[in-house]
Chains A and B, each alone.
Chain A
Amino acid sequence: MSDVDKIISSKLLKGRSLWQDGLRRLWKRKLAMICFAVILIYFLLAGFIYAAELFHWHVGPIQWQEEVGRQYESPSWKNVFGTDIFGQSVLRKMLYGAKISITVALCASIISIVIGVPLGAISGYFRGVTDEIIVWVYSTLSSIPYILLILAFAVVLRDKALFGYKLTGITTVYLAIGLTSWVGICRLIRGEVIKHKNREYVMAAQSYGCSNSRIIFRHLLPNVFHLVIIDFSLRFVSFIHAEVILSFLGLGEATRPSWGAMINDARIELSRGVWWQMAAATAAIFFISLALNIFGDALRDSLDPKLRIQ
């Protein structure tokens, strides 16, 4: 039986890729898995709300506008987090806010990855003039204070139309955040690509005639991609916070409840002794941030190939 026949007929010995290895190690970390469950809950909640809005289900969070009690009712069994100035359920608003925050953070992440990763890869691989230009661009961009930059973008983008879509509150928020936050991932990818470029496996690929694009996409990016994942999970937190701040400053979503808007309202309410809206929003932000931070660290420890025992 020839070798090929052996391969086709026999059970091929399965390999265990570095990804599988990393995920297996991640799975063993109980705390990280709990945090992942928490993150999943938030995402599922956001997804659920999207679906509910799409299919017009009449469930709690969708009906956040409904008056469920008098103004400023304190927390009770009926309304677990009390009511706000309009008598609306704070709990429902808090749940709805998850949709806003997750959407913003996810879209901003995608934008910054889509811009940052290719620029970083091109910059790191080709070096020379291309590199100098890209580095100059992001150095300048990152020297401007983050908040000012986001504010500027948000103000400029407001009420403008992009490809025929009117830019509503949320869209300006995540566009602004995404367009300013790609610098971090770009730097990271650039650094790693520069390191890997001189590895012998890249030289080997060049030596048998691989094109540059094949080397970047087939060889370099898969080896730096784990950093994108780690960066994504850690940066997600900062995007949620950015949305909160923008909403707090009145630049974000104006018509629908978001955690930032709730905190903004709470500013005045606190002086009246109404603490429950602040508490609800803060709690919501706190738990997702904590879960993402712990999970992000665990991801880094598990996915870093250097931390394997050779």
Chain B
Amino acid sequence: MANTNGYLLKVNDLKTWFPVKKGLMRKTVGYVRAVNGVSFAIKAGQTLGLVGESGCGKTTVARSIVRLVPATAGEVIFEDTDVLSAEKKRLRQIRKDISIIFQDPYGSLNPRMTVGDIIGEPLKVQKGIRGSELTEQVAMLLSKVGLAPEYINRYPHEFSGGQRQRIGVARALALRPKLVICDEPVSALDVSIQSQILNLLKDLQDEFGLTYLFIAHDLAVVEFFCDVVAVMYMGRIVEQADSQELYHNPLHPYTKALMSAIPEVDPKLRGKRQRLSGEVPSIMNPPPGCPFHPRCPLTEGVCKTVEQKLEEINGKGHLVACWKSREH
């Protein structure tokens, strides 16, 4: 059941700041502004990709949405309820409908639990299912993700990275969620396994009618997997568009630099090199104005003082936070 306008999830101006405490009395001297005003919306059945380099805040967005990390401000509207201000009981219900697949296949499974226990625990905890009914459901989930049900008593360290990630997917599906947040699910996997897992996720989306929030740093993976893509930099979204539109028509200088930095196998497809100078600035002291201006090849006066807002460009749902790109 999506809310009005068919949006399953609506994030409004989400901010997550981590206080930095120093000194004997632990005074707060500043904030790490990991997420600094992020807004987006996902329609039911759609896949939205959140892409950016390390430190841009994408993982913190994912964790803030399910309150694994306390958000500082903003709203996260899931099916008419604001998750951030929901009380414990309602939050517990919502946790049935939103699940997460984590990045690290080695760290996301409890090494002391069998695979059956790992996948079955959500069912035990939320629905009180036990015994043979539990075994049945776990076996079904295992075969859905392509693992033999006979492995139900094995332990995580007896599986390869790709297989562990499949177990993580099975666990995420146990409660038949509506929204699945995929936090870099294939970044730690080998190339030949990545494609298997991505295909699996796509198949499961068709079969179960899932909605995905897909987080990654690899633009090529995101372009393949997602319908809509949002590019993040230093806690903010700098560009958002449909996947194909973004690829064919990137507007923000950061997006362009990101695309041109990706090494390309086919020499005929290599674009012009656009090198970014400098490093990502410290997230504790972001530069004033547009956070990208120190590294941007097009910086001009106003960039240094005025924060850029995400605005629509061409009516095709393409948004950019850069006044220069709106100029053409």
Quote the shortest CB–CB distance from A206 to chain B (angstroms).
Answer: 6
Q: Chain A residues near B102: list those with CB within 8 A.
A: 200, 203-204
List which B136-170 residues lie within 8 A (CB) of chain A: 136, 139-140, 142-143, 149-155, 157-158, 168
Bound form: Cα–Cα A205–B152 in Å: 19
Bound form: Cα–Cα A205–B100 in Å: 10
When the two chains form the complex, which single residue of A16, A208, A219 contacts B95, counting CB atoms closer than 8 Å?
A: A208
Given the interface pairs A4-B139, A13-B150, the reply to whether A208 lies near B158 with Cβ below 8 Å is no
Interface string of B9-35 (1 = CB under 8 A from A): 000000000000000000000000000
Q: Chain B residues near A222: list those with CB within 8 A.
A: 110, 112-113
Given the interface pairs A208-B95, A208-B125, A209-B126, the reply to whether A3 lies near B149 with Cβ below 8 Å is yes
Q: Are A200 and B103 in contact (CB under 8 A)?
A: yes
Bound form: Cα–Cα A211–B175 in Å: 17
Interface size on B, residues (CB 8 A): 46
Bound form: Cα–Cα A7–B100 in Å: 28
A15 CB within 8 Å of chain B: yes
User: Which secondary structure characterizes the binding site on chain A?
Assistant: helix
Q: Chain B residues near A219: list those with CB within 8 A.
A: 110, 113
When the two chains form the complex, which single residue of A7, A17, A209 contacts B155, counting CB atoms closer than 8 Å?
A: A17
Q: Kindly report which residue of chain B lies nearest to residue A20, judged by CB atoms.
A: B155
Q: Are B155 and A207 in contact (CB under 8 A)?
A: no
Bound form: Cα–Cα A222–B107 in Å: 15
User: Which secondary structure characterizes the binding site on chain B?
Assistant: helix
B104 CB within 8 Å of chain A: yes
B99 CB within 8 Å of chain A: yes
Q: Are A207 and B95 in contact (CB under 8 A)?
A: yes
Q: Kindly report which residue of chain A lies nearest to residue B114, judged by CB atoms.
A: A15
Q: Bin the interface of chain A by size.
A: 35 or more
A201 CB within 8 Å of chain B: yes
B121 CB within 8 Å of chain A: yes
Bound form: Cα–Cα A10–B122 in Å: 26
Q: Kindly report which residue of chain B lies nearest to residue A205, judged by CB atoms.
A: B121
Given the interface pairs A3-B139, A3-B149, A305-B111, the reply to whether A207 lies near B100 with Cβ below 8 Å is yes
Bound form: Cα–Cα A8–B132 in Å: 9
Q: Chain A residues near B140: list those with CB within 8 A.
A: 3-4
Q: Are B125 and A214 in contact (CB under 8 A)?
A: yes
Bound form: Cα–Cα A308–B155 in Å: 14
Bound form: Cα–Cα A6–B139 in Å: 10
When the two chains form the complex, which single residue of A199, A200, A207, A223 contacts B99, counting CB atoms closer than 8 Å?
A: A207
Q: Kindly report which residue of chain B lies nearest to residue A6, judged by CB atoms.
A: B149
Q: Chain B residues near A129: list those with CB within 8 A.
A: none
A18 CB within 8 Å of chain B: yes
Known: A16-B154, A204-B108, A223-B112. 14 other contacts (CB 8 A): A3-B140, A6-B149, A7-B139, A7-B150, A13-B151, A13-B153, A14-B154, A200-B104, A203-B102, A207-B66, A208-B126, A214-B125, A219-B113, A308-B157
In the A-B complex, list the 4 residue pairs whose CB atoms are closest, starting with the nearest: A15-B154, A200-B108, A208-B122, A209-B95
Binding site for A on B (CB under 8 A): 63, 66, 68, 92, 95-96, 98-100, 102-104, 106-115, 121-122, 125-126, 132, 135-136, 139-140, 142-143, 149-155, 157-158, 168, 171, 174-175
